[in-house]
Amino acid sequence: MKYADEFRDKTMAQGLARAIGIEADPQRAYRFMEFCGGHTHVIFRYGLEDLLPANVRLIHGPGCPVCVLPASRIDMAIRLAARPQVILCVYGDLMRVPGSQGQSLLRARALGADIRMVYSTLDAIRIAEQALDQEVVFFAIGFETTTPATAVMIRLAKKKRLKNLSVFCNHVLTPPAMQSILESPDIRALGRAEIDGFIGPAHVSAIIGTEPYGRLAEEFGEPIVIAGFEPLDVMQAILMLVRQVNDGRSEVENQYSRAVRPEGNRRAIEEVSNVFELRDQFEWRGLGLIQDSALKLKRPYAKFDAEARFVMHELPVVDNPACECGAILRGVKSPVDCKLFGTVCTPETPIGSCMVSSEGACAAHWTYGRGRDYQLRRA
């Protein structure tokens, strides 16, 4: 497949693996966090960890939108969808995310709620136009990548004077989450981050550019390499990170220059800033409340806010105490450190959200990587 196979070339991968092997100092450890679930998926799907020397370790970060969504937000959506007249439009990934007490949108749909999987925000507009006597709510979720599409939908809805369409907004921001990880007491043990560098987001950076990461690299002394979602991209980014660590540099470098410009996608940024503004704080599963880490609708668009329109309340939910999703999302623990992993928590019966999406660290590890654990245990 053109424009994809070129980035999956085995010979080039082996060349990069050799270079990483030669340049990585055997006397030290390299712990790199890939922030994005997209990278986590690629790492497991192509078995990239098999190509790396033992002292280069990848830590799987929280950049999977459904993984960081608290169960309370799913509960809110389920309660909303249970109202007669409401059609809830969601992206497919959300259907199986566990809410509290074993609830999910998939189960709510089976019980009669009108929940529809959509592939684009424009599908929600189409549904709203066809069901004028019903209330259509779009469950907006995602990092900076999906936010512009929601912004466009709201702008179009306003232009079309669609009164029956609203948004349950759960859009979150990447840089504040990265900062929260670096400031987490678990991670900054002894005053020093246990992360030696970040593989920076691909699609998110195509929207926001490389500039927003500058402060993080500078303030926390962390090398950041923005990388594409193909396996060669990730390998090359790891080599670039190894070199930064060896040189004692902490810069923002752009491996994904074919898609990411320093200033990002101006048009998309403009669409978003026209419609959205910062929320004071937002709860992230595993990371807790993070200031200025999510978006809400600006005043002129407030009537499209489903939380206000339907007076939705967030009721606190206590996660399963044995679930280690929080520590896993912060990179402090690995999926195999969790007692629930692979026992009661599997992709068929997820307890924590990391097991739901194929981009979640636990699901990716279980689906693609558990053979390695069995092998290690034997050894």
Partner 1 sequence: MRVKSYQRKLDIKNGCIDLSHGSGGRATTQLVLGLFHEAFGNEWLARCNDQSAFGVRSGRMVMTTDSYVVSPLFFPGGNIGSLAVHGTVNDVAMAGARPLYLAASFILEEGFRLSDLKAVADSMGAAARAAGVHIITGDTKVVERGKADGLFISTTGVGVLANGLELSAENARIGDRVLVSGCLGDHGVAIMSRRHNLAFQVDIVSDSAALHDLVAVMVAAGGAGIRVMRDPTRGGLAATLNEIAHQSSLGFRLQEEAIPVKPAVTAACELLGLDPLHVANEGKLVAIVAADMADAVLAAMKAHPLGCDAADIGEAVADHHHLVQMSTSFGGRRIVDWLSGEQLPRIC
Long-range interactions of 240-244: CB distance < 8 A, separation 24+? 241/30, 241/32, 241/196, 241/197, 241/199, 242/20, 242/23, 242/24, 242/30, 242/56, 243/23, 244/197
Closest CA to 139 of 167, 97, 100, 173: 167
Q: In this chain, which of 54, 102, 371, 379 binds partner 1, going by CB under 8 A?
A: 371
Q: Give me the 96-135 binding string for partner 1, x by CB under 8 A, dash otherwise.
A: x---------x----------xxx---x------------
Helix extents (H) in the chain: 10-23, 37-45, 71-81, 105-110, 121-130, 147-159, 174-183, 203-208, 214-220, 231-247, 266-275, 306-309, 325-329, 361-364, 370-378
CB of 113 to partner 1, least distance (A): 17
163-171, 297-305, 329-337, 359-367 -> range binding partner 1 (CB under 8 A): 359-367
List the one residue from 4, 318, 376, 379 that touches partner 1 (CB under 8 A).
4
φ, ψ (nearest 5 deg) of residue 81: -65, -20
Q: Which of residues 304-343 bind partner 1 (CB under 8 A)?
A: none
Distance CA 70, CA 330 (A): 15
**Alpha-carbon gap, residue 164 to 148, rounded angstroms:** 21
Q: Which of 1, 54, 376, 379 binds partner 1 (CB under 8 A)?
A: 1
Tokens describing residue 80 = 């909303």
> Taking CB under 8 A as the rule, which mask of x and - marks residues 13-52 in contact with partner 1?
xx--x--------------------x-----xxxxxxxx-
CB 1 → partner 1: shortest distance, Å? Answer: 5
Integer distance in angstroms from the first to the last C-alpha of the chain? 39
Please state the closest distance from residue 27 (CB atom) to partner 1, in A.
26
Residue 152: CA count within 13 A, CB half-sphere: 13
CB of 188 to partner 1, least distance (A): 29
Residues 173-232 that bind partner 1 (CB under 8 A): 203, 231
**Residue 93 binding partner 1, by CB under 8 A:** yes
* Residue 352 binding partner 1, by CB under 8 A: no
Taking the complex as a whole, the smallest distance from the CB of residue 193 to partner 1 amounts, in Å, to 27
The Cα 286–Cα 371 span in angstroms is 27
Cβ at position 371, least distance to partner 1 in Å: 5
Residues engaged in binding partner 1 (CB under 8 A): 1, 4, 8, 10, 13-14, 17, 38, 44-51, 65-66, 91-96, 106, 117-119, 123, 141-143, 145-146, 203, 231, 346-348, 357-359, 363, 366-372, 374
